[in-house]
Amino acid sequence: MTETFAYLDEDSKRSVRRTILKALAVPGYQVPFIAPEMPIAYGWGVGGMVVTASLIGEDDRLKVTDHGSDETVNAVNIRAFFTRTAFVATTTLTREATLIQVRQRVPEAMLAEGQVVVYQVPRPDPLRAFVSSAGEAARMHAAADYGRVYTRLFEERTGSGSIAQPGYDYPAMVVGRYLMSPSPIPKRDNARLDNSPAIQIFGAARERRLYALPPYTRVESIAFEDVPFDPGYPSDGRRCVICGCTTSHLDHLLLKDDGTSEWVCSDTECCAERMEEAASA
């Protein structure tokens, strides 16, 4: 079998690229797309891979992260897939990458104009938590009918606890118009979506939806007028056991026998850079 460049046939890629253009033209609006099959199961990043496959060119330099790490199984395998099917160069450095596919984190390193960040999205529509019908959710988006989202916030604030907001996938409003799922990134990463110089594209293959943020788009986490958005990240003295950083997003590494925990930077690139800086100092 002869594989085409980046696995997908050119017609499919062209179709996805047209959808991306439409998504960029209406920031935050979920555009239906064909989401062709990829040789991995749904839930492992098919949406992101389809977008990456449609955009990637021979001159691109690809970075792939999963939970901020370049070293997880998902990241390593997606990188290897595109190395094999598109023969592109890869990198773990954000500043060197032209195309960055991520899952569950936004790179902590500064993004730049000309870069494209592709997000893997399991549940693209924040309204589907409230209505089972896709048609009704579409009507609600069309009418900017987002009262129920605020009801959920109200529940969280009044402490009912029955339907509290999670600490990730926290809905954000795009240019004050469309409510968007930022994909399952931590709440605190929402701020990185706002006014980013990079193009950001969100692909959800299972739900056949794609949406995008052009460079320098206003993205605001939803909040009440009198209760500002709380990124909800604890500052309880935890620090990375590798680089000692306390401000980076930390993952729980292990719970020790004495009841204390160890934490490690979620973003391996930034952690490694901090270690290099410390070594050269």
Partner 1 sequence: MPDLPQPLLTLDGISFGGRIVRGASLSLYPGEVLCLVGKSGAGKSTLLRTAAGCLPPTKGRVLLSVDDRASLSLYDLPEQALVPLRRRRFGFVAQDARETLDLAASAAANIAQTLFDNGERHFGRALEAARHWFAALDLDEARMRDLPGVFSGGMQQRLQIARALVHEPDILFLDEPTTGLDTSAQARLLRLLSELQRRTGVAMLLVTHDLRIARLLAHRVIVLHEGRIVEEAPPDRLVTDPCHPASRDLVASMI
Nearest alpha-carbon partner for 264 in 243, 233, 237, 240: 240
CA dihedral 237, 238, 239, 240 (to 10 degrees): 180
Active-site annotation holder among 28, 45, 47, 48: 28
Does 227 bind partner 1 (CB under 8 A)? Our answer is yes
From 45, 68, 245, 271, the catalytic residue: 271
Q: Which of 39, 135, 147, 237 binds partner 1 (CB under 8 A)?
A: 147
Task: Tell me the closest approach of the beta carbon of residue 220 to partner 1, in angstroms.
Answer: 12
**Annotation marks residue 270 as catalytic:** no
Q: Which stretch binds partner 1 (CB under 8 A): 21-29, 119-127, 219-227, 259-267?
A: 219-227
Please choose, from the candidates 197, 192, 251, 250, the residue with its C-alpha nearest in 3D space to the C-alpha of residue 221. Answer: 192
Q: How far apart are CA 268 and CA 109, in angstroms?
A: 11
At its nearest, how many Å lie between partner 1 and the CB of residue 22? 21
Number of residues that bind partner 1 (CB under 8 A): 22
Q: Judged by CB under 8 A, which of 151, 246, 247, 261 binds partner 1?
A: 151
Residue 165 has what DSSP assignment? P
Using the rule CB under 8 A, give the single segment among 103-111, 164-172, 178-186, 218-226 that binds partner 1. Answer: 218-226
Sheet containing 31-32: give its strands across. Answer: 31-32, 209-213, 199-204, 116-120, 99-103, 61-66, 89-90
- When the beta carbons of 147 and 237 are compared against partner 1, the nearer one is 147
Instruction: Give the binding range for partner 1 (CB under 8 A) out of 116-124, 146-154, 174-182, 197-205.
Output: 146-154
Q: Is 245 a catalytic residue?
A: no
Give the span between the Cα atoms of 236 and 123, in whole angstroms: 31
Active-site residue, 265 included: yes
Q: For partner 1, which residue of 26, 145, 215, 241 counts as binding (CB under 8 A)?
A: 145
224 binds partner 1 (CB under 8 A): yes
CA angle, residues 135, 27, 108, in degrees to nearest 5: 115
Q: Which of residues 152-171 bind partner 1 (CB under 8 A)?
A: 152-155, 157-160, 162-163
Q: Is residue 201 within a helix (H) or strand (E), and if so which, with residue range?
A: strand 199-204
CB of 137 to partner 1, least distance (A): 14
Contact (CB, 8 A) for 27 and 213: yes
**Under rule CB under 8 A, residue 226 binds partner 1:** yes
- For tokens 């195309």, the residue is 99
Q: Are 216 and 198 in contact (CB under 8 A)?
A: no
Of the candidates 102, 113, 150, the residue with the CA atom closest to the CA atom of residue 267? 102
Marked catalytic residue, from 47, 243, 245, 270:
243
Q: What is the DSSP letter of 177?
A: T
The residues annotated with a catalytic role in the active site are 28, 240, 243, 265, 271
Residues near partner 1, by CB under 8 A: 139, 142-143, 145, 147-148, 150-155, 157-160, 162-163, 224-227
